[in-house]
Chain A
Amino acid sequence: MAGAFEIVDEYNVTSAVAEVILGAGSSGSSGLNASIDSTYDTYFVTGSGIVHSSGGSAQYCLLRWTVGGSEDLTANTKQWAQRSMRSDTTNEYRWYTSNYTELTLQDGGAEAPGENSCFYLYLNTFPESSVGSMITVHSVIDQFDGVKAHSRLGGAGDMTKQACDGIKIFGNSSTTFVSGTFRLFGLAK
């Protein structure tokens, strides 16, 4: 009997990259030519040990949906709302309508050795063309000067009725990822 979680795609950052694409066929970072499709109804994603390149300033880890192997840049069709939970101060709400969603907000580069960010996502209804493509987000981040831990909890949706075949994970501004392991799993059905 096959396992409940089945690995579909994986990319381990060993040298700096501006983005990591999971799924999306030949556009994917791994070269495995994997796609999110109807093989599974639900997909599970992990990102761990993620470190951004440039130091000192805020660096968002962001996500875009891919359609036919290309990131969907259509404005104002992606809705997301999250609770940002913070060890050092009161929690805050984060939300926007855009063409991406936030996953983390980390200081750029590991200001203290060991700092990194991690997340897991569940992806639903991605392969279906008659509905949108939905994500739930839970992440944890070392934030600024080694004294803070932040966490995100919430969701995001591409409200366009279209089939999405992957996700692109990238940093804002000109940051790159210098390390991190990204995996895409399908939940057997």
Chain B
Amino acid sequence: MSLEFIKKVSDTGISSLVVSDIFSADYDDYLIQQTVYDNASAANDGTMRLLDSGGTVISAAEYYYAGENTRIYNTFTETNGVGATSFGYFGYQDASTTTGVGLTMYVFKPYDSSLFTKCLWQAQVGGSGQARWYGGSHKSAETITGIQFNTGTGTINMDCIVYGIKGF
């Protein structure tokens, strides 16, 4: 079997969801899904950070990313981040709304301390009628062990399902 379940984490009424100890030497690359991003206390635009080898959230200005938002209500937009303190443009949800989210993210070689960790994510978000298509690099070569999703504003219900992509 080459796609192996590692962990599912979920919680309600939270401003952040820490998913720790998911990356290891057992896999090079990972597939991550999020299906719940609901019942927000206020409209918010989600972000994501990485956890270092000690499980500490990395909030340094080391996140670089670029992507596009395909929207039902207006022209498509492009956004990016240079030396940001997180990867941006994950889930988006309106206040007191329950729609679910369809987020897929690939994480490449996070446990390799010699490489910048790479992420590719795409999502159909619940709020604001849009999908998102992004790629990002965490430009600090270090061992990454987990991730943290953040709302930016208020609280929300969230989940996260992690799989390892296994080679020979």
Seen from chain A, the residues whose Cβ lies within 8 Å of a Cβ on chain B are 2-7, 10, 46, 48-49, 83, 85-88, 90-91, 112-118, 120, 138-142, 146-153, 181, 183, 185
Contacts and interface: CB of A to CB of B under 8 A. Distances in A.
Contact of B137 (A3, A49, A91, A149): A149
A44 to B, nearest CB: 9
A139 B106 CA distance: 10
B109 to A, nearest CB: 5
Contacts of B135: 85, 138-141, 149-153
Contacts of A91: 66, 68, 78
Contact of A5 (B2, B81, B119): B2
A46 B163 CA distance: 14
B3 A4 contact: yes
A131 to B, nearest CB: 26
Contact of A142 (B78, B116, B168): B116
Contacts of A10: 167-168
A111 B115 CA distance: 12
B133 A149 contact: no
A59 to B, nearest CB: 16
Contact of B66 (A4, A5, A149): A149
Contacts of B68: 83, 85, 91, 153
Given A46-B29, A87-B66, A116-B115, A7 B82 contact: no
Given A6-B2, A151-B135, A86 B80 contact: yes
Interface pairs A-B: 3 shortest CB-CB? A151-B135, A3-B1, A114-B141
A120 B120 contact: yes
B168 A87 contact: no
Interface in B38-96: 64-68, 78, 80-83
**Of B3, B28, B66, B82, which is in contact with the most chain A CB atoms at under 10 Å from its CB?**
B66
B108 A48 contact: yes
A46 B165 contact: yes
A112 B112 CA distance: 16
Contacts of A140: 108, 118-120, 135-137
B128 interface: no
A139 B165 CA distance: 17
A48 to B, nearest CB: 4
Contacts of A185: 2-3, 165
Given A7-B167, A116-B116, A140-B120, A149 B65 contact: yes
Nearest to A88: B82
18 contacts: A4-B3, A5-B3, A48-B29, A49-B108, A85-B133, A85-B135, A113-B114, A113-B141, A114-B116, A118-B106, A138-B133, A140-B120, A140-B135, A142-B137, A147-B64, A149-B135, A183-B167, A185-B2
A49 B112 contact: yes
Contacts of B11: none
A146 B166 CA distance: 29
Contacts of A3: 1-4
Contacts of B108: 46, 48-49, 118, 140
B139 interface: yes
